[in-house]
A and B are shown apart, each in its own frame.
Chain A
Amino acid sequence: MLRIVAVPLLFLLVGSALAVAQGHLPVRPGLIGLAVMLASAFVVRRHWRSLHVDRELGSPERALWHALASRALIAGQLLMSLGLIGPAMHLHSVAVHAMAVDSWTLVLGAIVSFYIARDPEPRSDERDNAFVARATRIAYATLIAQLSVVIVILSFGADFNLPAFSQPLIAHALIVCLMLASMVRSAVQLALYHFDQHTAFASV
């Protein structure tokens, strides 16, 4: 259960570190992030193959762990980059172009690492669909909560003496909201699997 919180936090930190390292490294931080994703995918694939049949993960769980980690890394990089660039973000600037190149490199890493880590024989059924439905409801509520905060900030920002946000910044903030809601969905669904498995082993 602790892993469901620790893994996204770790990858959020890695993503943030990549954004901070922008311009201070001999290689693009996006490429380092891509290498981290591929290496992690090979490690977890090996680990999942070594698990005993009673403890092996189902196809949806594997996909969820991958989604949680990769989205946390991309969200971390994006969030920290937005923070460093500031509210007056201009789309066609050196900093935003660098952020975009790194972000899309990380997206490429997420796609490739998914194919490395995925179950070679994917299977899911009605129980998985039931978990998806419950997790999606919570993710939807999370998205609504985030959008409410964004609406309040945009509406009353001037009253709180907040600086004016540029349109590209608002667009990227909304992307982050979608990514966080998606991460919540993955985390909740993994928690449901965890509790279900825990109950199953307790009752055997």
Chain B
Amino acid sequence: MSGTPIANHLRRLRFDHGEMSQDALARAVGITRQTIVALEGGHYAPSLELAMRLALVFKHRVDEVFFWREMPKSPLSK
């Protein structure tokens, strides 16, 4: 589960939203605080559904919350 290619702005967004606690964010999307820790540590890539629920809490698009650390090569580009 370590070293996923997807990073996120969750920690910054939490602080921008009234210093929301990890537990409050976890409860808002129905997951555990430990998963928020794993997401913020960048070693857990969420499912699309969870990513969309997290983005919804901060009223952002998914790609404004989650991003590639390094853009992968497209299998179509040769």
Alpha-carbon distance between A196 and B36 when the two chains are bound, in angstroms: 12
Interface residues of B in 1-34 (CB under 8 A from A): 1-2, 23, 26, 30-34
Find out whether the CB atom of A200 lies under 8 angstroms from the CB atom of B32.
no
Tell me which of A125, A193, A199, A200 contacts B30 (CB under 8 A).
Answer: A125
Find out whether the CB atom of B43 lies under 8 angstroms from the CB atom of A196.
yes
Chain A residues with CB below 8 A from B35, complex form: 125-128
Chain A residues with CB below 8 A from B34, complex form: 58, 127, 193, 197
Find out whether the CB atom of A130 lies under 8 angstroms from the CB atom of B1.
yes
Find out whether the CB atom of B38 lies under 8 angstroms from the CB atom of A200.
yes
Chain B residues with CB below 8 A from A197, complex form: 34, 37
Chain A residues with CB below 8 A from B43, complex form: 196, 199-200, 203
Find out whether the CB atom of A196 lies under 8 angstroms from the CB atom of B32.
no
Alpha-carbon distance between A106 and B40 when the two chains are bound, in angstroms: 42
A56 (CB) vs chain B CBs: closest residue: B33
Alpha-carbon distance between A87 and B44 when the two chains are bound, in angstroms: 49
Find out whether the CB atom of A203 lies under 8 angstroms from the CB atom of B1.
no
Of A124, A128, A200, chain B has the most CB atoms within 10 Å of the CB of A200
Alpha-carbon distance between A78 and B63 when the two chains are bound, in angstroms: 55
A204 (CB) vs chain B CBs: closest residue: B41
Alpha-carbon distance between A136 and B32 when the two chains are bound, in angstroms: 21
B56 beta carbon closer than 8 Å to chain A: no
Find out whether the CB atom of A203 lies under 8 angstroms from the CB atom of B23.
no
A105 beta carbon closer than 8 Å to chain B: no
Name the distance in Å between B31's Cβ and chain A's nearest Cβ.
4
Alpha-carbon distance between A58 and B47 when the two chains are bound, in angstroms: 20
A59 beta carbon closer than 8 Å to chain B: yes
Find out whether the CB atom of B38 lies under 8 angstroms from the CB atom of A127.
yes
Alpha-carbon distance between A200 and B32 when the two chains are bound, in angstroms: 14
Name the distance in Å between A120's Cβ and chain B's nearest Cβ.
15
A123 beta carbon closer than 8 Å to chain B: yes
B50 beta carbon closer than 8 Å to chain A: yes
A51 beta carbon closer than 8 Å to chain B: no
Find out whether the CB atom of A200 lies under 8 angstroms from the CB atom of B23.
no
A-B contact pairs, 9 of them (CB 8 A): A58-B33, A126-B46, A127-B31, A127-B32, A128-B35, A196-B1, A196-B2, A200-B41, A204-B41
Q: A125-B50, A127-B38 are in contact. List 9 more A-B contacts (CB 8 A).
A: A53-B33, A56-B33, A123-B31, A125-B31, A126-B35, A127-B1, A196-B43, A199-B2, A204-B40
Name A's B-contacting residues (CB within 8 A): 53, 56, 58-59, 123-128, 130, 192-193, 195-197, 199-200, 203-204
